[in-house]
C-alpha cells in the first residue's frame, strides 16, 4: 500500500512542474515514412483559438496572393493516387514499405509521367538526397 502511495506522490512531483509550465509529454512514435521520433516535452496546446483571417495570404517571397504554403519555392506537382496505388500493388508492397517512399524516376517537374512505369521504391535517406538536387537539372 505504501509503495502505491509513494509512487503516486513521485508521479505528482514529476507531472506537476510540467503542468505548471504548460508543457505536455509526447511519447516516442514511428512516422509513416518509417523514421522514429524520440519522446520529448512540448508546449501544451492553447485552450483558446484566435479567429481565422478571411483575408488572402500574401507571400513575402513572391508578393502575390495565394494559399498559405510551407515556404517552399517549388509547388508540388499533382500526383495520381491511383497510379501510386497501382505501382505499390505491382511491386508487391500494397500497403507501403517501411523506411521507403515511392519516387518518380524522372521527376514530374522535369516532364516525367505519373505512371507506375516511372516509379520506384527509394529509401527515405536516398529520397531526401535526390530531392535536394533533382530539380536543379530540369
Split into its structural domains, the chain has a count of: 1
Residue-number span of the structural domain to which 89 is assigned:
81-137
Question: What is the pLDDT at residue 90?
Answer: 94
**pLDDT at residue number 18:** 47
Residue 107 falls inside a structural domain: yes
Of 20-29, 43-52, 113-122, the range with the lowest mean pLDDT is 43-52
Q: What cell was used for 97?
A: 514499405
Residue 24 in this model has a pLDDT that exceeds 70: yes
How far is residue 108's CA from residue 80's CA, in Å, rounded to a whole number? 11
User: pTM higher than 0.75 for the full model?
Assistant: no
pLDDT at 69: 41
Whether the per-residue pLDDT at 117 is higher than 90: the answer is yes
Residue 86 lies in a domain: yes
CA distances from 12 to 4, 20, 43, 120 (A): 12, 12, 19, 51
Q: What is the pLDDT of residues 51-75, one digit of tens each?
A: 555 555 554 444 444 444 444 444 5
Does residue 129 form part of some domain? Answer: yes
Buried (b) or exposed (e) across 67-89, using 16+ Cβ within 10 A?
A: eeeeeeeeeeeeeeeebeeebbe
Instruction: Identify the residue with better confidence: 15 or 82.
Output: 82
Amino acid at each position: 500500500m505504501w509503495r502505491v502511495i509513494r509512487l503516486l506522490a513521485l508521479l505528482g512531483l514529476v507531472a506537476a512542474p510540467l503542468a505548471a509550465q504548460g508543457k505536455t509529454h509526447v511519447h516516442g512514435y514511428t512516422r509513416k515514412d518509417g523514421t522514429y521520433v524520440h519522446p520529448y516535452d512540448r508546449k501544451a496546446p492553447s485552450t483558446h483559438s484566435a479567429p481565422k483571417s478571411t483575408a488572402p495570404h500574401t507571400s513575402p517571397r513572391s508578393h502575390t496572393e495565394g494559399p498559405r504554403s510551407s515556404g517552399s519555392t517549388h509547388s508540388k506537382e499533382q500526383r495520381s493516387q491511383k497510379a501510386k496505388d497501382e505501382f505499390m500493388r505491382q511491386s508487391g508492397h500494397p500497403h507501403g514499405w517501411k523506411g521507403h517512399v515511392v519516387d518518380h524516376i524522372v521527376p514530374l517537374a522535369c516532364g516525367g509521367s505519373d505512371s507506375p512505369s516511372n516509379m520506384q521504391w527509394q529509401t527515405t535517406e536516398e529520397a531526401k538526397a535526390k530531392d535536394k538536387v533533382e530539380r536543379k537539372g530540369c
